[in-house]
Structure 1
Amino acid sequence: MQPFKTVDIAFGRGHLTVGLPEEAEVTVIRKASLPKLADQDGAVRAAFANPVDSAPLAELAKGRGSACILICDITRPVPNRLFLRPMIQTLAEAGIPKDRITVLVATGLHRPNEGAELAELVGDPWVLENVRVENHFAMRDEDHADLGRTATRNTPVRIDRRFLDADLRIATGLVEPHFMAGWSGGRKVVAPGVAGHETIRTFHSARFMEDPLAVQCNLVGNPLHEEQLEIVRMIGEIYALNTVIDEDRDLVHVTFGEIIASHLAAVGFIQDVTRIRLPQRFKTVITSSAGYPLDKTYYQTVKGMVTPLDILEPGGTLIIASECSEGMGSKEFRDAQARLVELGPERFLATLTAKSLAEVDEWQTEMQLKPMRIGRVQLYTSGLDEEERRITAVEVIADLDAAVADSIRRHGDSRVAVIPEGPYVVPVVEAA
């Protein structure tokens, strides 16, 4: 049977057209439409001038001798090109020398962003020409200061000295659903963004990862969020610029101010737009890894598998498309995936629960266990070799259209949910 209906989903720098059989009853799940900002530069400058729970940026900068601005790494499509130059110009006009302003890429435990990739990330040559732009390296113990441990959960707190030692500290980021911390942005750019490896590996240990409240769109009782709040309070004065973008990656909202308050303001703006309520679950769910840059690796693809689980009928089929143009991700993640295949899900999880410090990147493999517990996971990709496909531990498919038709036939249910933007949209089942 030839496809009768088509839906475009994000894939790489473009999209894939998915063909669905004639009998398919299709529910396309998107974020609610947000009005585009007529003047994005004006919106950024207005946020600086009208902050949340702080003085305007120009006033904050007066009398400061140095500044450190955190930006997310290449895995987040943050519109740095829109705000870095006006932010730096404001700091310089207030008297902070440009050679005392550092833009620090908050890599967490990801690889550094360098060369052409760094230029793409920053998005404005002027920034690279006028201030230092450097990467955070979580494994370099000497780069971090020890702040002790959190009082609540005894997390070791080590933070990059370049951020701690700055007179003015600013985090910048994108507010979107995060499958463990509830929402990205704000405090998350600090920890794990510029935290040492022990801090990050504690965050990603099984006692955090298996907590039922450590899920997307939830901040209440979320252990990761609560530890992040405690850490930023231990550090002291921090400000943040938080952005919200639409499906076209255009800026639709921006806040600036005290790090916790400005983040909550951005979450308040986006939460009802991103969290989409549905009256039913589906036996066939088609999603993406949100396209570039999130689908550069299989490591990041796992996020797209976890986010729609609330609407997947137990025993159903989750089909995800991800380019994986850079392959699996880190060597550590590859090793964790190989152990999953070798041991099986139950034995693999058993190896994690006794650890106080997770091994680097094995937490993403742990997160993959969640969709595997619920149903069948199928992956369509163009970027993995034969061995990489084997250690995904899921079923790799060659024909997306055929997989959809087969799922409908196998389950005897023509209802299909399609989530074109992947983990940037959080569908939930709520009875009417």
Structure 2
Amino acid sequence: MRITLRYGEETVSFDIPDKNLLGTLSPRRKSPVKDLVTKILESLERPIGSPPLGRILKPGDRIAILVDDHTRTTPTREFLPPLLGYLREHQVKEENTVIVFACGTHKGLEKMGDKIRLLGREVIQNYRTVVHGCDTDNVYIGETSRSTPIYVNRWVYEADRVIATGNIDLHYFAGYGGGRKSILPGVCSRETIMRNHSLMMSPQARTGNLEGNPVHLDMMEAAERVGVDFLLNVVCDGGNNIVDLLAGDWREAFHQGIGSVDEIYKIPINEKADVVFLSPGGYPYDINLFLSFRAIEHALNAVRKGGTLVCWAECRQGAGNETYRRWMEEFSAGEIDTRKLQERLNQKFELGGYKTLFHYKALDTCEIYLRSSMKDDEIRKVYKLKPFEDFEAVLQEIKDRYGPDFKSYVLPNGVLTLPLCESSTS
């Protein structure tokens, strides 16, 4: 069978014999919203668990609209103009509206071209936009019950009304993206984010789980404290088409959207394979190794212990996180010891350091081949992965290791898709 995967903004293709393929684990299909503008306006007037947005607004209100940044594929430029038009119809002036890119700790949203790509030229020309900085101009407003200090972006703090937008999807330790994540980590300080993310050491902090998940619960408290007046979230399919739109109370709308995400992206399998061939899903999911590794973490659900992952991820920004790179360099000198990593994180949590723990846990499970734009020597020595260019050579190594009848899956949208093995066989 001919397989095509996204790699950066291009594609790669290769052949896998049909006898070796257990299946392609792709998001389920769901019909896109047909008349998006009408759907948005109806949702704003008949929201979930909330009065119509127009009744929440008052003349002269200062509005902060939170939007996703360049590391997400959220189709903000599709749903933001109708929302802004609705606000204007309800006497919200353009000069009283600020659009805040909820970047969390992400960097790189500096070029005007990137902002135009995300929001559209007309929006950029007519509205003030602010790129959140986790290290600058944040206001302390208290702490959560888990002792997370809440420092929030000043523009958000000073707004009379906060409207959060974004995409609901799977998240590897918050359970799901969307909803409360626009606040934390979206527009909070590095200190706030670091403390919240340190809670990910809990076994309940995992992909697709909210029950007892301390990261999620802490985020909910922070969003409650900051105050979100209205939520507009979308759910997209594997082709980034909007298939569901949730508007209203930020808690109820978010939780309702989770059902759509599960329906599309949680994929049951009957058995684990010897090999998984995967891509994070192309740009921006494979913009760096830090983000690409989410796909590898999902693929671990579909590969048996001692198996092999073959990943295509461009990683045009390299590691993508300085702490991750530094920790990997430090620990690459010795034997893999996840216990030492765990102990160090328990003593002093560092953003990015936790990715090193996930990285080494993955290496404990399987061998990992990586096709990327990073230097082969760095991939091999620092990240303990196997760089490759010649896929046929990799395929031959797989046959030599598992025999000509090896079994495999293809995971084309690895960041988005979560395989769930119904068998306990590992």
**What is the TM-score with the length of structure 2 in the denominator?**
0.93
Gaps in structure 2 of 5+ consecutive residues: none
Shift of 1:202: 1.3
Query: Would the aligned equivalents of 1:185 and 1:263 in 2 still touch at CA under 8 Å?
Result: yes
Q: 1:384 — aligned with what?
A: 374
Q: Equivalent pairs: percent with the same residue?
A: 26
Query: Would the aligned equivalents of 1:245 and 1:252 in 2 still touch at CA under 8 Å?
Result: yes
Letter in 2 for 1:172: T
The equivalences for 1:52-67 within 5 A come to: 52-67=48-63
Listed one character per residue, the Cα deviations across residues 133-183 of structure 1 (whole Å, up to 9, x for unaligned) are 11111012xx112122211x2222211121122111011111111111111
Q: 2:407 — aligned with what?
A: 415
Q: Is 187-196 or 29-38 further displaced after alignment?
A: 29-38
Query: Would the aligned equivalents of 1:380 and 1:399 in 2 still touch at CA under 8 Å?
Result: no
Tell me the SS of whatever aligns to 1:200. helix
Query: Which of 191, 198, 217 is matched with 2:184 structurally?
Result: 191
Listed one character per residue, the Cα deviations across residues 246-303 of structure 1 (whole Å, up to 9, x for unaligned) are 2221111111111111111111122122101111111211111111111111111111
**Matching of residue 201 in structure 1 with residue 217 in structure 2:** no
Letter in 1 for 2:333: E
CA distance in 2, matches of 1:274, 1:177: 8
Letter in 2 for 1:89: G
Q: Structure 1 residues 188 and 121, CA, compared in 2 at 3 Å: closer, same or farther?
A: farther
Letter in 1 for 2:421: V
Letter in 1 for 2:223: V
CA distance in 1, matches of 2:98, 2:378: 38
The equivalences for 1:284-323 within 5 A come to: 284-323=275-314
Q: Structure 1 residues 20 and 237, CA, compared in 2 at 3 Å: closer, same or farther?
A: closer
Q: Is 254-263 or 115-124 further displaced after alignment?
A: 115-124
Gaps in structure 1 of 5+ consecutive residues: none
Query: Would the aligned equivalents of 1:150 and 1:230 in 2 still touch at CA under 8 Å?
Result: yes
Q: 2:347 — aligned with what?
A: 354
**Matching of residue 147 in structure 1 with residue 141 in structure 2:** yes
Q: 1:280 — aligned with what?
A: 271
Query: Would the aligned equivalents of 2:200 and 2:214 in 1 still touch at CA under 8 Å?
Result: no
Q: Structure 1 residues 134 and 237, CA, compared in 2 at 3 Å: closer, same or farther?
A: closer
Letter in 2 for 1:425: T
**Matching of residue 79 in structure 1 with residue 75 in structure 2:** yes
**Matching of residue 430 in structure 1 with residue 426 in structure 2:** no
Q: Structure 1 residues 322 and 60, CA, compared in 2 at 3 Å: closer, same or farther?
A: same
CA distance in 1, matches of 2:281, 2:317: 15
Shift of 1:81: 0.8
Tell me the SS of whatever aligns to 2:415. helix
Q: 2:364 — aligned with what?
A: 373
CA distance in 2, matches of 1:36, 1:51: 20
CA distance in 2, matches of 1:172, 1:220: 23
Letter in 2 for 1:159: V
Q: Structure 1 residues 372 and 260, CA, compared in 2 at 3 Å: closer, same or farther?
A: same
**Matching of residue 335 in structure 1 with residue 326 in structure 2:** yes
Shift of 1:112: 4.2
Q: Structure 1 residues 112 and 166, CA, compared in 2 at 3 Å: closer, same or farther?
A: farther
CA distance in 1, matches of 2:280, 2:171: 13
Query: Would the aligned equivalents of 2:368 and 2:385 in 1 still touch at CA under 8 Å?
Result: yes
Query: Would the aligned equivalents of 1:112 and 1:135 in 2 still touch at CA under 8 Å?
Result: no
Shift of 1:105: 0.7
Query: Would the aligned equivalents of 1:20 and 1:405 in 2 still touch at CA under 8 Å?
Result: no
CA distance in 2, matches of 1:145, 1:343: 42
Listed one character per residue, the Cα deviations across residues 1-49 of structure 1 (whole Å, up to 9, x for unaligned) are xxxx221122212322132246423411111111122222222222222
Q: Structure 1 residues 365 and 431, CA, compared in 2 at 3 Å: closer, same or farther?
A: closer
Query: Would the aligned equivalents of 1:274 and 1:424 in 2 still touch at CA under 8 Å?
Result: yes
Q: Structure 1 residues 103 and 410, CA, compared in 2 at 3 Å: closer, same or farther?
A: same
CA distance in 2, matches of 1:47, 1:344: 55
Tell me the SS of whatever aligns to 1:424. coil
Letter in 2 for 1:418: V
Query: Which of 70, 81, 88 is matched with 2:84 structurally?
Result: 88
Tell me the SS of whatever aligns to 1:255. strand
Q: Structure 1 residues 102 and 354, CA, compared in 2 at 3 Å: closer, same or farther?
A: same
CA distance in 2, matches of 1:229, 1:64: 28
Listed one character per residue, the Cα deviations across residues 339-370 of structure 1 (whole Å, up to 9, x for unaligned) are 23135442344322211xx3342232232233
Q: Structure 1 residues 388 and 45, CA, compared in 2 at 3 Å: closer, same or farther?
A: farther
Query: Would the aligned equivalents of 2:48 and 2:248 in 1 still touch at CA under 8 Å?
Result: yes
Tell me the SS of whatever aligns to 2:361. helix
Query: Would the aligned equivalents of 2:270 and 2:421 in 1 still touch at CA under 8 Å?
Result: yes
CA distance in 2, matches of 1:344, 1:191: 35
Q: Structure 1 residues 266 and 397, CA, compared in 2 at 3 Å: closer, same or farther?
A: same
Letter in 1 for 2:81: R
Q: 1:239 — aligned with what?
A: 230
Tell me the SS of whatever aligns to 1:171. strand
Tell me the SS of whatever aligns to 1:296. coil
Q: Is 303-312 or 323-332 further displaced after alignment?
A: 323-332
**CA RMSD in angstroms, aligned pairs only:** 2.0
Query: Would the aligned equivalents of 1:339 and 1:348 in 2 still touch at CA under 8 Å?
Result: no
Q: Structure 1 residues 120 and 127, CA, compared in 2 at 3 Å: closer, same or farther?
A: closer
Tell me the SS of whatever aligns to 2:122. helix
